[in-house]
Amino acid sequence: MNIANQLTVLRMVLIPVFLILLLVPMGHAELMVGDAQFTVARLIAAIVFIVASLTDFLDGYLARRLHLVSNFGKFMDPLADKLLTMAAFVALVGLREMPSWMVIVILAREFAITGFRLVAVEQGQVIAASPIAKWKTTFQMLALILYLLNNIPFGTNGFPLAYICLWVAVILTILSGWDYFAKNKHVLRNSNLK
């Protein structure tokens, strides 16, 4: 297994670590970072999520740079992204820190595209992530990081940057879902789902 694929697997391994730190009560040790107040476990969870998110960009960069692009990476890299972001989205809804309707839109698209990709795999095709899907993932991860860092305020009226990034992520999520289906209609035409 090449280094890019190892980073993809590492991202998946970090998901339960992140969730345990975020969701399991570990005392009330708190610290201040700027104006934001965190529990120590929450701060460590945010750091683990940031590290996991960075592996997404690093594995893609290494795969292209070192010519390590593989079918495993084309399939597992987006799946690892989905598992990481979906876990964080669901956890933040459970903590009542994120609007549930926005997360439902994001999760619906992720499940639909994952199913679509499985249909393509049955036909011997691997659909790589599109540029708009990569932007979608970037904004999803950025919104999640900002939410994990306690909705750091932005601008003179205190409108949160995290919420802006979440809106951009939702819009890109919808557009990228449409883009996958529009560019790969042949997958459905050739499927046994008719």
Compute CA 132 distance to the chain's CA centroid, rounded to the nearest angstrom: 14
C-alpha to C-alpha distance for 23 and 92, rounded to whole angstroms: 9
For residue 32, list its beta bridge partners.
37
Supply the pLDDT for residue 142: 93
For residue 7, CA distances in Å to 18, 28, 76, 116 come to 16, 33, 11, 25
Report the interhelical angle of 3-23 vs 71-94 (nearest 10°): 10
In the 8-state DSSP scheme, what is residue 37?
E
> Band of the pLDDT at 27, cuts 50, 70, 90?
low
Angle at 182 between CA 170 and CA 61, to 5 degrees: 65
Q: Which of 184, 52, 26 is nearest to 119 (CA)?
A: 184
Residue 38 clears pLDDT 70, i.e. is over it: no
Average pLDDT, the chain: 85
* Percentage with pLDDT > 90 across the chain: 43
Please report, for the chain, the start and end positions of each structural domain, with discontinuous segments joined by +: 3-189
Stretch 171-185: mean pLDDT: 90
User: What is the dotted CATH code of the domain comprising 3-189?
Assistant: 1.20.120
For residue 74, CA distances in Å to 12, 59, 129 come to 15, 11, 8
C-alpha to C-alpha distance for 6 and 59, rounded to whole angstroms: 8
Query: What amino acid is encoded at 101 in this protein?
Result: W
Supply the pLDDT for residue 11: 95
* Pair 14, 52: CB distance under 8 Å: yes
Supply the pLDDT for residue 156: 47
Tell me if the pTM is above 0.85: no
Say how many C-beta atoms besides its own lie within 10 A of residue 170's C-beta: 21
